[in-house]
Amino acid sequence: MLSIKNLSKQFGSKKVIDDVSFDVPQGGIAVLLGPSGVGKSTLLRVLNNLETIDKGTIALEGKPLDLSEVTKEHTCGMVFQQFNLFDHMTVLENITLALEKVMGQSKQSAQKIAIELLKRYDLAEKKDAYPSQLSGGQKQRLALARTIALKPKIICFDEPTSALDPLLTTHVANTIQQLASDGYIVLIATHDTALLDKLDCSIYLMDNGKIIETAQSDAFSKNADQFPRIQRFVQGAIE
């Protein structure tokens, strides 16, 4: 279980995360939903030690998470909106680099792990290609494979559908749902309401750094009226 309690973060005088609390169980998916600028990405960045926090605690399995250690221990991984691949390296090298340099694996064992991951994400035939030769969906699967190579417990996706063809939304949702079934804790920052009915997830609607409404995706799809703010956001997004 990941427990986030009373998390707050300001940039100057602007409260970007304002007293946010929620839990995500192992195998659970939390969707941080909302329009641009409400603090979704900042929350994921905090978990990945890319931003500091002002207040609050984050605990994993009951133990406080030392955010400065998150990167070192690879507790948490992030699949960035623009994927952040190493463009001058091949698909295979994008994965083996971290395994060798960060995890201290031998070249041989790094390659073995990388090739397994490339097979799992349907990229084996692309192992010698460069990121610029991949489609958007392939780039995203590579970014995911690279994240998983470091064996995180928590995987964060920032706007996983925004750089892709909308036709890929179901595929992305299935991939994310599979990660949850495999036992990862998954967090998604998105404004894309098309993901909601494709995931078994907890929805946290954000506004101005606060969580203003919460729903389970199945309850929301059965009784949207009970969640007026999420419903309004979904309708607004469709119009």
11 binds, among ligand ADP, Mg ion, none (CB under 5 to 8 A by kind): ligand ADP
In the bound state with ligand ADP, the residue whose beta carbon lies nearer, of 36 and 132, is 36
In the bound state with Mg ion, the residue whose beta carbon lies nearer, of 14 and 222, is 14
In the bound state with ligand ADP, the residue whose beta carbon lies nearer, of 16 and 211, is 16
CA-angle at 198, arms to 232 and 193, nearest 5° = 30
Does residue 79 interact with ligand ADP by CB under 6 A? no
The values of phi and psi at residue 86, to 5°, are -90, 105
The values of phi and psi at residue 128, to 5°, are -100, 5
- Contact assessment for residue 83 and residue 143, using Cβ atoms and an 8 Å cutoff: yes
* Burial (0-12, 13-18, 19+ Cβ within 10 Å), 163: middle
Residue 94's identity, in one-letter code, is N
Q: Which two tokens stand for residue 125?
A: 């035939």
Q: How far is the CB of 81 from Mg ion (least distance, A)?
A: 7
Q: How far is the CB of 156 from Mg ion (least distance, A)?
A: 11
Residue 113's identity, in one-letter code, is I
Among 41, 49, 111, 161, binds Mg ion (CB under 5 A): 41
161 binds, among Mg ion, ligand ADP, none (CB under 5 to 8 A by kind): none
CA distance 178 to 151: 15
Does residue 37 interact with ligand ADP by CB under 6 A? yes
Q: Site residues for ligand ADP, window 40-69 (CB under 6 A)? A: 40-42
Q: How far is the CB of 76 from Mg ion (least distance, A)?
A: 17
Beta strands per DSSP E along 61-200: 63-64, 76-79, 154-158, 185-190
C-alpha neighbours within 13 Å on the C-beta side of residue 3: 9
Does residue 38 interact with ligand ADP by CB under 6 A? yes
Does residue 9 interact with ligand ADP by CB under 6 A? no
Which residues of this protein are in contact with Mg ion, per CB under 5 A? 40-41
Task: Catalog residues that contact ligand ADP under the rule CB under 6 A.
Answer: 11, 16, 34, 36-42, 189
